[in-house]
Amino acid sequence: MSVALAFDIYGTLIDPHGVVDELSKHVGDRAWEFSNTWRDKQLEYTWRRALMQRYENFPVCTRQALDYTDMLLQTGLDESAKAALVQVYRVLPAYDDVPASLQALADAGFHLFGFSNGVEEAIVGLLEHAGIDQYFEGVVSVDALHTFKPDPQVYHHFIEVADTARENCWLVSSNGFDVIGAVSAGMKAAWLRRSQSVVFDPWGVEPTLVINGLEELKYKITL
C-alpha cells in the first residue's frame, strides 16, 4: 500500500529563523533573542486559540506574536519595520538538506504532502519560493478545520485527505508536540532532531523513529 508522508513546514522544511537577517536591521544583536521569542509566542498563541475555540488563522497569530515580542523586548518597531518582517516570513528559506531529500523520497515512490498550521495560500507560496513545491501532491492546512496542531482532528483530517491506511501515514516534524499529537492520533511519526541540544518531551509517547537529517528518511521508512 502507498506510504503518505505529511511534512510539517515551519521548523522542519522551512527555517522560521530565516527572518534573523531582517531582524538585525531593526534590533541589532538582539535579533536571535527576538526571533526565538517570536516563534515561541506564535506557537503558544495557536495552542491557546485552539483550546479556547477562539480561532484566528496562522498569519494573525504570527502578527500578534510579533507585536507581543516587540512590547516585551521594548524594541520599538514601527509599522514599516513590522510589515517588512511579516513580508520576510512569507519567503523564508528551506533548510539545506530539504531539496535533495524530497527529490530522493519522491523518486523512491513515497507520496509527499505539506501539512501545516499555516494557511494553504501561504504554504504554497513558501514551497514555491524555496523551489520545492514540485515534490508535493498537495498541501493540507489545519485552517480548513479552524483549529491547530496538536488537536487530534487535524491528524484524522490528514489521513482522510491522503486517502491511505492510517498505518501508512507518517508525520515528519521537528516539533515534539506535533509528533506526540500524531502518534496519539494513531499515525506514525518521525521526529527530525535538527539540533542535538533539543530534547523530546518526557510524556511516555515516543516517536516511531528519530532522524538527525531528512536524508535518513529514505532508508528508515519502507514502502
What amino acid positions are annotated as catalytic residues?
Answer: 8
Spatial distance between the Cα atoms of 80 and 53, rounded to a whole number of angstroms: 31
Name the residue with cell 512590547. 71
Are 220 and 109 in contact, with CB atoms under 8 Å apart? no
DSSP string, the chain: ---EEEE--BTTTB-GGGGHHHHHHHHGGGHHHHHHHHHHHHHHHHHHHHHHT----HHHHHHHHHHHHHHHHT----HHHHHHHHHHHTTPPBPTTHHHHHHHHHHHT-EEEEEESS-HHHHHHHHHHTT-GGG-SEEEEGGGGT--TT-HHHHHHHHHHHTS-GGGEEEEES-HHHHHHHHHTT-EEEEE---TT-----SS---SEEESSGGGHHHHS--
